[in-house]
Amino acid sequence: MLFTGSSEHTIDDKKRLSIASKHRALLPQSVTAWYCVPWPSKVLRLYPEPTFLELANKWDDSLTPTDEQAQLVSTLFSFAEKVEMDSGGRVRLPKRHLELAEIGSAVAVLGAKNHLEIRELASWQAGEQKRFEDLSKLVAGTTPSSGNS
């Protein structure tokens, strides 16, 4: 799955977000759940369940992780919440995630390669021109040949 593009949405009073049909169409019919992960940069990341499980299973497990590894695993996975998609293509976002990311009802839903990102609409729109201007610098700094893959 390759999620691209963006769309504007409203989170309703029940904390439900409708996943755009262009993004739902990329999912196999068997996929009815996502994993929602809040991120410190004021974003919620939504991973289709198979993608989240695949990425989680790629991590090396150990009976003796370092303290830092153990803290990362317990923190990341304690914040991750499985959210089911209803027949209308909506997911109920965890209230605590919305609070942590400071996201209100007007949001931008962004395709971000293997997941979707949910961001506060006003701040996303306010930074659009700057992100566009920085795009070539970002690409130059993250190419596989530069060692930042």
Q: Considering the domain boundaries, does residue 93 fall inside one?
A: yes
Q: What is the pLDDT of residues 36-57, one digit of tens each?
A: 999 999 999 999 999 999 999 8
Q: Considering the domain boundaries, does residue 145 fall inside one?
A: no
Q: Which CATH number fits the domain that encloses residue 70?
A: 3.40.1550.20
Range of the domain at 25: 6-122
Q: Considering the domain boundaries, does residue 142 fall inside one?
A: no
3-state SS, 48-99, equals: EHHHHHHHHHHCCCCCCCCHHHHHHHHHHHHHCEEEEECCCCEEECCHHHHH
Q: Measured between alpha carbons, how far is 42 from 119 in angstroms, rounded to an integer?
A: 7
Q: Considering the domain boundaries, does residue 98 fall inside one?
A: yes
Total count of domains within the chain: 1
Q: What is the pLDDT of residues 61-96, one digit of tens each?
A: 777 778 888 888 889 999 999 999 999 999 999 999
Q: What is the pLDDT of residues 91-148, one digit of tens each?
A: 999 999 999 999 999 999 999 999 999 999 999 999 999 999 999 988 888 765 544 4
Q: Considering the domain boundaries, does residue 111 fall inside one?
A: yes
